[in-house]
Amino acid sequence: MAATDASILARLADLKIPHPEVISHAPVKNSTEWRAQLVIHHPSLANTLLTKTLLFKPKTAKSAVPTPVLVLASEATETPSGALGKVLDLKELRLASEDLIKEVLPSAGSKDDVSALAVPAPKAETLHLLLDAALAQSEDAFALHLTTSATTVLIKGSEIKKYLDNVAGGEGVKVVDFAELKAAAPAPVEKKAPAPKEPKAVVPSGPADDKYEMAIQYKKDEDFSGWYTDVLIKGQMLDYYDISGCYILRPWSYSIWQTIQNWFDDEIKKLGVQDCYFPMFVSNARLEKEKDHIEGFAPEVAWVTRAGKSDLEEPIAIRPTSETVMYPYYAKWINSHRDLPLKLNQWNSVVRWEFKNPQPFLRTREFLWQEGHTAFLQKAEADREVLDILGLYQKVYEEILAVPVIPGKKSENEKFAGGDYTTTVEGFIPTTGRGIQGATSHHLGQNFSKMFDITVENPDRSAGAPERLYAHQNSWGLSTRSIGVMVMVHGDDQGLVLPPRCALQQVVIVPVGLSKQEGKNEGIYDACHELERTLTGAGIRAKADLREGYTPGWKFNDWEMRGVPLRLELGPRDIAAKTTLSVRRYDNHKTSFPLADIANTVTSYLSDIQASMLKRASETFEERLKVVSQWEEVVPALDGKNVLVLPWCEGSECEDEIKERSKSQSTAGAAEDSKAPSAGAKSLCIPFDQERFGAFPEGEKQKCVQCGEKAKSWTLFGRSY
């Protein structure tokens, strides 16, 4: 039965809990508005001690009954959900949806009407009711709401405990000392691999430079982290900035992003998507609008607190993602079903600050990405677009970056917070045996449209049809992480290996057989220039390297380290024979080309290189996909640097158990790479192409590899970045 203001006041009277008169005021959404309303009532209330009531929902299996957690605390108390979850032995506490709020507190008219006083008595057995020790042990008066945010009553902290003890029944309300909880939280422990050196970029001044400084210092198979950093710096992909976790994208890498951007932007425009740009700054009030969604980003949000020497009246956040930035304006712009679909995309940067061990391209404090946000009248339209966009992401990886990926659906545990479901393309880094998420396309359902009131008049006027409909929404994103994945997959001990479609420079022409006598090489240089003009005229990104003071061998090494797909050598004998010697970067294969029709020959050859790189990477991925049906085979296959294809029941608890069990049983002897944090086998995706891994046995159930119950799907599990 729903509580009422009258029933709450009656219970206070029965328990002989004194309180001043009830203060009625305008509804409030946050503590700032609440205090302002109290001051309007009487200036003496300016320093009133406020409370906050939070309702959390822990992560549970879909079929399980929710066990919500309601916390009443002083406004000044930090209430970390992670530590709270450990105390209660609950997983991943997130702020409850409005539907759950109304289920726990039937009197709540909206998500702003969360009040501990309104918990129906006796409380439900599934509800965890917690009280901040700072309240329970205090004789000071604190402000609380009754059933809505438009009423306030002042009650002593100790009397609040008395009230909640009565509501809770049995042993009473659980008192939690959050200050002690915070102090007792252990520092995270991680096994550290030997820290790789961060080599400084070396710009050679000539052939006299030290060979050791010129070459890649690390072997890819022996020190992957050191190799990766060295390749990026010496390959002129990026440089370090003086703020940790931030990097300078040099033209060699930024051009790859531009290639992706130009192709993808053209493709989404064919789907009716338009580009736009929203500000990077977000007000605190707007960020708090969607607490359940933003909670996952909360530790990573960067705040602007000063302007010059003055403190800002209110801190301003730098966007970690744009849902809360964009959707209030979707609600403003979408007034009729004729305004749908609305399809917007923006190319921008986002900032996510709070993490250790940054890794270039994969985990940086600022990164470039595109984020698409679309709204539809019909769910079927939104579902179709989710897969259309995912198909484009697959093409970015496979057709531009020559990186194989597996498209599929994320598990309930791994899906985007606040979404109905998440689709993904998953890649694989063979050297480390780890999976890596390439890009995601989410169906948000009506979760955000309900939150931001994105509604339209129902065009269906038939009897019984609702007057207004909530929009069905999607969001989807691809970032510069894709560049790091490409480097990790294709690079070798000599440096970068770039696919022709994304390389800033596809062909380098190096003069050879040069004479030391002045004026003897002009004919060779002229021939190189002519070859460059022929190739560039055909749309091939070619460059003749005519730098003086460098030997051909030094130039070979330099361009190999930078990953140029094709080298053409041109010397006196080549000119006489009207040929050029070609060397492929990805496998060092050499062949001679006639200069006649060279543009068509090279164009075709570059296409072959692109296809061959994808084929080689795909074969490696396929070899390392291990279908495993017995638990005894899981950890050995995982330690063999493979991605596992497991029969799985799709249960969330079972998924967690697979991760924890495989982590504890791992026999890998090497130190854990702290920059690749997932040591156990986590779910990567449920592949759309289930037939690829074989049909489940007919006439008998295929058992889940962990729990033994009936398996629902083949699912990719593996260590991941």
716: number of Cβ within 10 Å = 25
Please check the confidence at residue 3 and state whether its pLDDT lies above 70. yes
Q: Do 637 and 603 share a structural domain? A: no
Mean pLDDT highest for which of 67-76, 230-239, 316-325, 695-704? Answer: 230-239
- Domain finish residue from 184, 199, 217: 184
Q: Do 482 and 576 share a structural domain? A: no
Provide the CA 424 distance to its chain's centre, in angstroms: 11
Q: Do 576 and 649 share a structural domain? A: no
The answer to whether residue 645 sits within a structural domain is yes
What is the CATH number for 95? 3.90.960.10
The answer to whether residue 200 sits within a structural domain is no
The whole-angstrom separation of Cα 205 and Cα 202 is 9
468: number of Cβ within 10 Å = 10
What is the amino acid identity at position 585? R
The answer to whether residue 310 sits within a structural domain is no
Q: Do 514 and 383 share a structural domain? A: no
652-663 confidence digits (pLDDT tens): 999 999 999 998
Helix/strand/coil for 584: strand
Q: Do 232 and 160 share a structural domain? A: no
Lowest mean pLDDT across 39-43, 74-78, 158-162, 174-178: 39-43
Please check the confidence at residue 197 and state whether its pLDDT lies above 50. no
Mean pLDDT computed over every residue of the chain: 89
Q: Do 599 and 464 share a structural domain? A: no
Mean pLDDT of 161-174: 88
Helix/strand/coil for 693: helix
Q: Do 370 and 273 share a structural domain? A: yes
| Residue 205 binned pLDDT confidence (cut-offs 50, 70, 90) | very low
What is the CATH number for 687? 3.30.110.30
Contact 117, 17 (CB under 8 A): no
Please check the confidence at residue 549 and state whether its pLDDT lies above 60. yes
Q: Given this model, what pLDDT does residue 298 score?
A: 61
State the alpha helices, DSSP H only, in 666-699.
Answer: none
278-288 confidence digits (pLDDT tens): 999 998 887 77
Please check the confidence at residue 69 and state whether its pLDDT lies above 50. yes
319-364 confidence digits (pLDDT tens): 888 888 999 999 999 999 999 999 999 999 999 886 667 899 999 9
Please check the confidence at residue 454 and state whether its pLDDT lies above 70. yes
Please check the confidence at residue 212 and state whether its pLDDT lies above 80. no
The answer to whether residue 211 sits within a structural domain is no
Helix/strand/coil for 307: strand
| Residues 6+ positions from 235 with CB-CB distance below 8 Å | 252, 495, 496, 561, 562, 563
Q: Given this model, what pLDDT does residue 103 score?
A: 85
Please check the confidence at residue 599 and state whether its pLDDT lies above 90. yes
CB burial string 694-709: b at 16+ within 10 A, e below: eebeeeeebbbbbeee
Contact 136, 144 (CB under 8 A): no
Q: What is the DSSP string of 456-507?
A: EE-S--STT--SEEEPEEEEEEEETHHHHHHHHHH-BTTB----TTT-S-SE
The whole-angstrom separation of Cα 535 and Cα 556 is 20
Tokens representing 569 are 């050598």
Q: Given this model, what pLDDT does residue 186 score?
A: 54
- Domain finish residue from 432, 459, 490: 490
The whole-angstrom separation of Cα 675 and Cα 721 is 8
The answer to whether residue 358 sits within a structural domain is yes
Q: Given this model, what pLDDT does residue 716 score?
A: 98
| Residues 6+ positions from 41 with CB-CB distance below 8 Å | 23, 25
What is the CATH number for 518? 3.40.50.800
- Domain finish residue from 553, 585, 617: 617
Tokens representing 639 are 């330690």
Mean pLDDT of 222-248: 94
State the alpha helices, DSSP H only, in 138-188.
Answer: 157-168, 178-184
688-699 confidence digits (pLDDT tens): 999 999 888 766
Q: Do 547 and 470 share a structural domain? A: no
Q: Do 354 and 241 share a structural domain? A: yes
Q: Given this model, what pLDDT does residue 296 score?
A: 55
Please check the confidence at residue 190 and state whether its pLDDT lies above 70. no
The whole-angstrom separation of Cα 709 and Cα 638 is 22
Which carries the bigger pLDDT value, residue 268 or residue 664? 268
Contact 199, 234 (CB under 8 A): yes
> Among residues of the chain, what percentage have pLDDT more than 70?
91
Please check the confidence at residue 198 and state whether its pLDDT lies above 50. no
Q: Given this model, what pLDDT does residue 356 score?
A: 66
Lowest mean pLDDT across 15-19, 43-47, 554-558, 622-626: 43-47
| Residue 407 binned pLDDT confidence (cut-offs 50, 70, 90) | very high
DSSP state of 396: I
Q: Given this model, what pLDDT does residue 295 score?
A: 58
Q: Do 177 and 270 share a structural domain? A: no
Mean pLDDT of 493-519: 94
The whole-angstrom separation of Cα 343 and Cα 335 is 15
Mean pLDDT of 102-111: 86
Report how many domains make up the chain.
Answer: 4
The whole-angstrom separation of Cα 357 and Cα 654 is 30
Question: What DSSP element (H or E) covers 683?
Answer: strand 678-687
State the alpha helices, DSSP H only, in 445-521.
Answer: 447-452, 481-490
59: number of Cβ within 10 Å = 16
Please check the confidence at residue 481 and state whether its pLDDT lies above 50. yes
User: Strand 678-687 to strand 406-409: parallel, antiparallel, or no bridges (unpaired)?
Assistant: antiparallel
Write out the residue range of the structural domain in which residue 700 sits: 625-720
The answer to whether residue 495 sits within a structural domain is no
Mean pLDDT of 665-689: 70
Q: Do 533 and 640 share a structural domain? A: no
46-66 confidence digits (pLDDT tens): 788 999 999 988 877 665 677
Mean pLDDT of 404-408: 98
The answer to whether residue 206 sits within a structural domain is no
Q: What is the torsional sign of CA 39, 164, 92, 107?
A: negative
pTM, two decimal places? 0.71
Which carries the bigger pLDDT value, residue 27 or residue 486? 486
| Residues 6+ positions from 198 with CB-CB distance below 8 Å | 229, 240
The answer to whether residue 238 sits within a structural domain is yes
Q: Do 668 and 581 share a structural domain? A: no
| Residue 178 binned pLDDT confidence (cut-offs 50, 70, 90) | confident
Tokens representing 448 are 């955000």
Mean pLDDT highest for which of 120-134, 448-462, 694-708? Answer: 448-462
426-450 confidence digits (pLDDT tens): 999 999 999 999 999 999 999 999 9
What is the CATH number for 459? 3.30.930.10
